[in-house]
Amino acid sequence: MQLITVAEYLFRRLAELGIKDIIGVPGDFNLDLVELLEHDQRFQWIGECNELNASYAADGYAREHGISALVTTYGPGELSAVNGVAGAYAEHIPLIKITGGIALAKQAKNLPLHHTLLNGAYDQSFKIYQQITCAAEILNFDNPGAQIDRLIESCYQQKRPVYLQFPQDLVTHLIAPPQAKLNLITSTTTEQTSKITKLIEQINAQLTTAKKVVILVGELVERYHLQTLVQQFLQNSGVSYVVSWGAKGTVDESHPQFAGMYAGCFSSQEVQDYVENADCVLALGWLYCEINSGTFSTKLDSARLIALNLDDGTISGENYLDIPFTPLVESLCHSNLKLASYPRSFAANYAIDPEQLSSQIEHDNLIYRLSQFLQSDDTLILETGTIAFTSGYYTLPHGCKIVSSVNWFSIGYALGATTGISLAKNSGRTILVVGDGSLQMTVQALSTQLRYGLKPIILVLNNSGYTIERIFLGKNSSYNDIQEWNYLRLPAAFAGEAYTRQVSTDKGLVEALNDTKLHANQLCLIEVMMDKYKQPPALQKLADIVAKMKK
Amino acid sequence: MQLITVAEYLFRRLAELGIKDIIGVPGDFNLDLVELLEHDQRFQWIGECNELNASYAADGYAREHGISALVTTYGPGELSAVNGVAGAYAEHIPLIKITGGIALAKQAKNLPLHHTLLNGAYDQSFKIYQQITCAAEILNFDNPGAQIDRLIESCYQQKRPVYLQFPQDLVTHLIAPPQAKLNLITSTTTEQTSKITKLIEQINAQLTTAKKVVILVGELVERYHLQTLVQQFLQNSGVSYVVSWGAKGTVDESHPQFAGMYAGCFSSQEVQDYVENADCVLALGWLYCEINSGTFSTKLDSARLIALNLDDGTISGENYLDIPFTPLVESLCHSNLKLASYPRSFAANYAIDPEQLSSQIEHDNLIYRLSQFLQSDDTLILETGTIAFTSGYYTLPHGCKIVSSVNWFSIGYALGATTGISLAKNSGRTILVVGDGSLQMTVQALSTQLRYGLKPIILVLNNSGYTIERIFLGKNSSYNDIQEWNYLRLPAAFAGEAYTRQVSTDKGLVEALNDTKLHANQLCLIEVMMDKYKQPPALQKLADIVAKMKK
């Protein structure tokens, strides 16, 4: 048998996953690995300016492609990526975090090496990553191929990041090549299969006796690539469906059965009433979290709720455990139910009357103009901050989706993720809306986008600081201010060509968005001047709830 | 008794430590705390663009002031600071990491809150920080004042970061004010005291019988603020002293007893021979690590070495344990020894003949021109990368010191640390030399410096990428390239005024350095054009050793 290096073993697996871009930062403990990547035609190395941005880019790449690989060096490098990987964990993003580690032979000598904490241990990073991954291993000489497979399979099946530390002396160590394809499908035990049959019977019984059924599609449907199957199921069922705040664009929102976005008090009153008055709500892969629940304002009592979550859920008020998500949803979708449709008369989408738009740019202008601008296959990325609180309200053409960090809410994420999404997208535009404070967090990502010829359309909302915080505390406090940059000068400082324009009126916004069509071969950076205090309605609702709780 | 809030308790302790600038990033879980700081005359809030930069700035502030406070929010915010705090741990920097945490009452409700990993736990960050701090606590209602004191005392005594999570609902909770001053001096047990007496006898016996004594001053002398005492001891002793690579500027290097920098093969041959041929080397607070040991090339056999480290050490070939550093060094210094001086004829400092300098800018030009430029009270910060490998070679006027990350070696550190050092310095200039790849990691720090009117002199070495890596692997590989920015356009993009100049010749370098004197009221940014491949001599030696090890 022709032996291969452990590096080649990993690379074959990454290629098998269709990963073409390896995102990372070089450093002395990963140079051997990165040098091999450099000369490997299967991959393109994407060198980021720093590891946090690299982790965000890898998150974005995984959201678009289905999985991603992030390479950093041991110690400082990997520890700069902790927040990004933790976010991927919270948001169910499968990301393979690869650390070039200290050679095992070197570790055995117990020397006070650089990039270590000088306390005699080499495993602190490993222990740190155990907290924010679903599996973590340091490769060793016993069976590194099996370790790699185990990690990648966990990553893909659980849709969570994994940590793979690759000690230098394993890189060119020879092992047998993979003997079979990766097992990417969660295996279901006989016991689980028979449990699924029973659960489906229960679900069907509840659904078919209900008179007013609504289906709520959550973000995990997309994470598990079940959109097409679920869309078919929705249409067969004949009932109205809503999407969660974080699942905007997961299924067809231009379809007549689409009834809107449901997130408790963040929804329109009609949608909220409609969903909460149903006698059965079937929630598929709904991530129950603060934003999706409209700050815990959803009223879905468990007797009327069928919730199929990752490994557990609720049917007729009873909880079940240890049933993998995919086979359960597949079985349900294949059961081809015709359900009792529940009439409704309201508009599915958030209604904005263009005649009522302000001439200055407010959040409704952005929602309306971007909704008009979006096309099938576009990805709209909304950064945490005020703009995140608009994400439930866009009218999306079929095939267009919104990406946001629905629960981790790390500012700086979106500009970094834009790099990975742009890299991984095969068609359609990448459109980012980011606040000024957020952009400052990870501004180097713009340089990476320019370096690799990526062409996102970026709207920077210049509202003079952390506007989202001003509603909660410190309306005029200096800590909510930032240094007010000349944002349009950034591309030139980063030595890149870009279309740039500052707009402060609705008219200017429309023109600038149109201009991007003439500059489709360039990165477009539009600075949108906005009021320092104005908040989108959902955020106002949240602030009211928080204020009430404080009393 | 007048009760005070827990926040006020913490603030009194921070004020007691002389901390005037609180460095951080606001976020919803720390707003209550930051709002109180905003209106507190004792402190200035320094808002950074991101948490990694904030952690580096806090490290720099602590190096200059003696201790610092870093405030971020729970979850994403604090996890972006992990690398910086880990570096402070490795380098023995006392930094109080304060996280605004989720209210305990809220945690008790077990809700899937934003900024959490959505796995039912709230303590992952705490567990992560346990790996990289000497003490970590989440404040609770029992006795938060005692918790605060315990953490700060550990931080100060051990010269390591600590983690203090401050749940929101404790901020305005009322407790008794501090009843006594903080105990900043490590208490010595009776047993330890008598052990110290014996150790001093042993040390004196070995030192006074030795015929050729050399004293090696390490970085922990400065961390424990023992410079003045040690300087007096050195002068009383009458023997030659050297400093470690990482302790440049800790003691007077213009004194006739100063014999140079000792770091094995990174030293000049004369210094190396001199130290290694002594019959007794007294090493005070020498951090034994890869760089200080010239990649483990130091030859100091234990029979001839007296090494006083943090809590342990070696005397006459015997190890001791559990003796605190400060009282041992103080006892030694007070024992007022006159030692056998050991003649030497070589120059203490790295010799450069200005006539031999290249007209293009090489590392010797930087060493020579900066050595000429430096004044008492200046701090010279050298970033990790090629320039770090020059740090042993500067001729320093008394009172001038070098700051570098001697072992953690995280690129991006130095620009961030420059913010904190500039803030904390009472006199003298802050001069930074940073590589282009490093600058790109944390470039936002420049914005913070401009925002708060700081005036460091920054030399950016433009050598087209990660030059330090090219010597090890991938001389012309694309992963060692970076996007080549227009560095001089950065201040304008960040909306700040600065003196900027690009230089590519020795003459230009001299002029630009002189120009900074005319622009002392501004931040100065000098872009130094350098060869893509040229390495300083110490790095060449390291590369040779690494290459030999690989064979």
- Min Cα separation B266/chain A (Å): 15
As beta bridge partners, residue A385 has none
Please report residues of B whose CB lies closer than 8 A to that of A466. 26
Please report residues of A whose CB lies closer than 8 A to that of B32. 473
Of B27, B86, B486, which is closest to A117 when you measure between CB atoms?
B86
User: Which residue on chain A is closest to B468 by alpha carbon?
Assistant: A28
Mutate to test the interface with B, among A22, A35, A118, A312 (most CBs of B within 10 A): A118
Predicted confidence band of residue B153 (pLDDT cuts 50, 70, 90):
very high
What's the mean pLDDT in B74-96? 98
What's the mean pLDDT in B106-125? 94
A32·B479 Cβ contact <8 A: no
Please report residues of B whose CB lies closer than 8 A to that of A129. none
In the three-class reduction of DSSP (H, G, I as helix; E, B as strand; rest coil), residue A127 is classed as: helix
Question: Is there a contact between B192 and B259 (Cβ–Cβ < 8 Å)?
Answer: no
Whole-angstrom Cα distance, residue A92 to residue A246? 12
Token pair for B404: 């570098």
pLDDT tens string B456-487 = 999 999 999 999 999 999 999 999 999 999 99
User: Which residue reads 């600081």 in tokens?
Assistant: A465
- Min Cα separation A196/chain B (Å): 24
- Min Cα separation B476/chain A (Å): 10
Q: Could you tell me what percent of chain B has a pLDDT over 70?
A: 100
pLDDT at B492: 98
User: Which residue on chain B is closest to A39 by alpha carbon?
Assistant: B477
Token pair for B406: 């001697």
A117·B132 Cβ contact <8 A: yes
Mutate to test the interface with A, among B59, B131, B502 (most CBs of A within 10 A): B131
User: Which residue on chain A is closest to B115 by alpha carbon?
Assistant: A408
- Min Cα separation B90/chain A (Å): 4
Mutate to test the interface with A, among B115, B168, B289 (most CBs of A within 10 A): B115
Of A47, A79, A474, which is closest to B479 when you measure between CB atoms?
A47
Q: How many CB atoms lie within 10 A of CB A266?
A: 27
What's the mean pLDDT in B139-166? 98
Q: How many CB atoms lie within 10 A of CB A305?
A: 21
Helices (H) then strands (E): counts for chain B: 21, 21
Question: Is there a contact between B152 and B13 (Cβ–Cβ < 8 Å)?
Answer: yes
* B35, burial (CB in 10 Å: exposed 0-12, middle 13-18, buried 19+): buried
Please report residues of A whose CB lies closer than 8 A to that of B111. 290, 296
Pairing of strands A258-262, B498-503: unpaired
For A501, residues 6+ apart whose C-beta sits below 8 A from its C-beta are A488, A508, A512, A515, A525, A526, A527
- The arrangement of strands across the sheet holding B258-262 comes to B258-262, B241-244, B213-217, B280-284, B305-308, B313-315, B318-320
Q: Could you tell me what percent of chain A has a pLDDT over 70?
A: 100
What's the mean pLDDT in A353-373? 96
Angle at B166 between CA B162 and CA B168, to 5 degrees: 165
A75·B482 Cβ contact <8 A: no
pLDDT at A218: 98
B483·A38 Cβ contact <8 A: no
B79·A83 Cβ contact <8 A: yes
pLDDT at A285: 97
What's the mean pLDDT in A519-546? 91
pLDDT at B548: 80
User: Which residue on chain A is closest to B130 by alpha carbon?
Assistant: A128
- Min Cα separation B171/chain A (Å): 13
For the four alpha carbons of B539, B540, B542 and B547, in that order, the dihedral sign comes to positive
- Min Cα separation A462/chain B (Å): 14
A479·B45 Cβ contact <8 A: yes
Whether the complex's predicted ipTM is more than 0.90 is answered with yes
Q: Is the pLDDT of residue B504 over 90?
A: yes
- Min Cα separation A278/chain B (Å): 25
In the three-class reduction of DSSP (H, G, I as helix; E, B as strand; rest coil), residue A263 is classed as: strand
Of B28, B296, B484, which is closest to A472 when you measure between CB atoms?
B28
Q: Is the pLDDT of residue A258 over 90?
A: yes
A492·B472 Cβ contact <8 A: no
Of A113, A290, A447, which is closest to B440 when you measure between CB atoms?
A447
Whole-angstrom Cα distance, residue B158 to residue B186? 9
pLDDT at A538: 82
B124·A131 Cβ contact <8 A: yes
pLDDT at B1: 83
For A16, residues 6+ apart whose C-beta sits below 8 A from its C-beta are A178, A181, A182
Please report residues of B whose CB lies closer than 8 A to that of A88. none
pLDDT at B544: 84
Cα-based torsion angle of the residue sequence B108, B112, B118, B122 in order, rounded to the nearest 10 degrees: -30
pLDDT tens string A103-138 = 999 999 999 999 999 998 999 999 999 999 999 999
- Min Cα separation A413/chain B (Å): 10
Give residue B505's identity as a one-letter amino acid code: T
Nearest to B306 by CA among B284, B273, B332, B289: B284
Mutate to test the interface with B, among A441, A452, A464, A478 (most CBs of B within 10 A): A441
For B164, residues 6+ apart whose C-beta sits below 8 A from its C-beta are B10, B96, B97, B98, B99, B136, B137, B139, B147, B148, B151
Please report residues of B whose CB lies closer than 8 A to that of A490. 493
Q: How distant is the alpha carbon of residue A266 from its chain centre?
A: 20
pLDDT at A337: 87
Of B116, B296, B474, which is closest to A38 when you measure between CB atoms?
B474
In the three-class reduction of DSSP (H, G, I as helix; E, B as strand; rest coil), residue A22 is classed as: strand
pLDDT tens string B282-313 = 999 999 999 999 999 999 998 999 999 998 99
pLDDT at A317: 87
User: Which residue on chain B is closest to A119 by alpha carbon?
Assistant: B90
Mutate to test the interface with A, among B114, B158, B411 (most CBs of A within 10 A): B114
B493·A495 Cβ contact <8 A: no
pLDDT at B523: 98
State the DSSP string of B106-167: HHHTT---TTS-SSS-S-HHHHHHHTTSSEEEE--SS-HHHHHHHHHHHHHHHTS-EEEEEE
pLDDT tens string B327-368 = 999 999 998 888 998 899 999 999 899 999 999 999 999 999
Question: Is there a contact between B404 and B246 (Cβ–Cβ < 8 Å)?
Answer: yes
* B130, burial (CB in 10 Å: exposed 0-12, middle 13-18, buried 19+): middle
- Min Cα separation B211/chain A (Å): 31
Of A112, A132, A493, which is closest to B485 when you measure between CB atoms?
A493
In the three-class reduction of DSSP (H, G, I as helix; E, B as strand; rest coil), residue B4 is classed as: strand
Going from the C-alpha of B387 to that of each of A435, A447, B273, B394, B530, the distances in angstroms are 36, 24, 25, 11, 12
Q: Is the pLDDT of residue B549 over 80?
A: no
Q: Is the pLDDT of residue A498 over 80?
A: yes
pLDDT tens string A11-51 = 999 999 999 999 999 999 999 999 999 999 999 999 999 99
Predicted confidence band of residue A415 (pLDDT cuts 50, 70, 90):
very high
Question: Is there a contact between A193 and A24 (Cβ–Cβ < 8 Å)?
Answer: no
Q: Which helix (H) or strand (E) holds B203?
A: helix B190-209
Please report residues of B whose CB lies closer than 8 A to that of A542. none
Predicted confidence band of residue A374 (pLDDT cuts 50, 70, 90):
very high
Whole-angstrom Cα distance, residue A27 to residue A99? 10
Of B52, B117, B442, which is closest to A132 when you measure between CB atoms?
B117
State the DSSP string of A435-457: EHHHHHHTTHHHHHHHHTT---E
Nearest to A456 by CA among A413, A422, A490, A497: A422
> What angle do the packed helices B82-90 and B413-424 form, to 10 degrees?
70
Nearest to B132 by CA among B157, B163, B155: B163
